């Protein structure tokens, strides 16, 4: 059973209280999605939801969600099942950059574990939580937010942020695996690079706005049934793994 129209559809975006995640939430709300802002700090999430809701008759709410904490993930899963009975779009936006300026040979195991726990395991945890309801309804869109730093084409010859880059390469691999598993259920799974965006992570010198960074994620979250799956995208175009 596929979703009938966008005004009935439900989207969850992790790390959506600011930056690219906030902009993805705002753009999906404009498309009449019922949006859930996932935020480690509920107060920040509620503030973000209030900002979006102030723009009109959209339906945005916030939920406490730490992708590294199984309890909060299960709580959000239970809330989604009880309140909506469905999840049509999952955007795994939450991420950390902890080792900018480090070298592969000096990055500590602690930093590697912390990075992978958010950037890979956290996204995987959310996919495991919500893939079953998408499979049951035979409709879903999963969008993983990666980086060009995770492309093997760009990894070659670069030492940039090794834990971050390798975690994003692993997220790309997870995307391909999930796309293969879920294709028969009309669940499209893709990964995208937003580019260098002016956010707290990207810094004030970044050339792209959050709206520009969010555009491809929103496009992937709202793909038609004959849309692509298992791809890596930037600016709505495929890029090399």
Q: Which residues participate in catalysis according to the annotation?
A: 160
Distance CA 69, CA 59 (A): 26
Q: Are 193 and 231 in contact (CB under 8 A)?
A: no
Residues β-bridged to residue 237: 234
With contact defined as beta carbons under 8 Å apart, do 101 and 29 qualify? no
Q: Check if the beta carbon of residue 144 is closer than 8 Å to that of residue 213.
A: no
Neighbours of 108 (CB within 10 A): 12
Q: List the structure tokens of 129.
A: 């939580």
Closest CA to 195 of 240, 149, 143: 149
Count of other CB atoms within 10 angstroms of residue 226: 7
In sequence order, what are the beta bridge partners of 101?
none
- List helix spans (H) across the chain: 19-30, 42-53, 70-83, 109-116, 123-137, 152-155, 162-182, 210-221
The token pair that represents 201 in the structure block: 């992570």
């Amino acid at each position: 059973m596929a979703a009938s129209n966008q005004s009935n559809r439900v989207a969850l975006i992790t790390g959506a209280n600011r930056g690219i995640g906030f902009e993805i939430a705002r753009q999906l709300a404009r498309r009449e999605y019922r949006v859930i802002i996932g935020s480690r700090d509920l107060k920040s999430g509620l503030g973000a939801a209030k900002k979006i809701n102030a723009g009109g008759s959209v339906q945005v709410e916030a939920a406490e969600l730490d992708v590294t904490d199984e309890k909060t993930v299960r709580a959000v899963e239970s809330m989604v099942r009880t309140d909506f009975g469905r999840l049509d779009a999952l955007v795994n936006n939450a991420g950390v950059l902890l080792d900018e300026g480090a070298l592969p040979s000096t990055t500590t195991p602690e930093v590697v574990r912390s990075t992978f726990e958010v950037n890979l395991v956290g996204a995987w945890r959310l996919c495991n939580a919500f893939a079953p309801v998408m499979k049951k309804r035979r409709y879903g869109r999963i969008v993983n937010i990666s980086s060009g730093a995770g492309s093997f084409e760009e990894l070659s010859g670069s030492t940039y942020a090794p834990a971050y880059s390798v975690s994003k390469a692993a997220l790309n691999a997870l995307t391909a695996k999930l796309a293969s598993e879920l294709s028969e259920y009309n669940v499209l799974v893709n990964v995208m690079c937003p580019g260098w965006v002016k956010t707290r992570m990207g810094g004030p010198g970044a050339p792209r706005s959050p709206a520009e960074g969010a555009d491809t994620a929103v496009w992937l979250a709202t793909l038609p049934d004959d849309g692509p799956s298992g791809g890596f995208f930037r600016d709505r175009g495929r890029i090399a793994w």
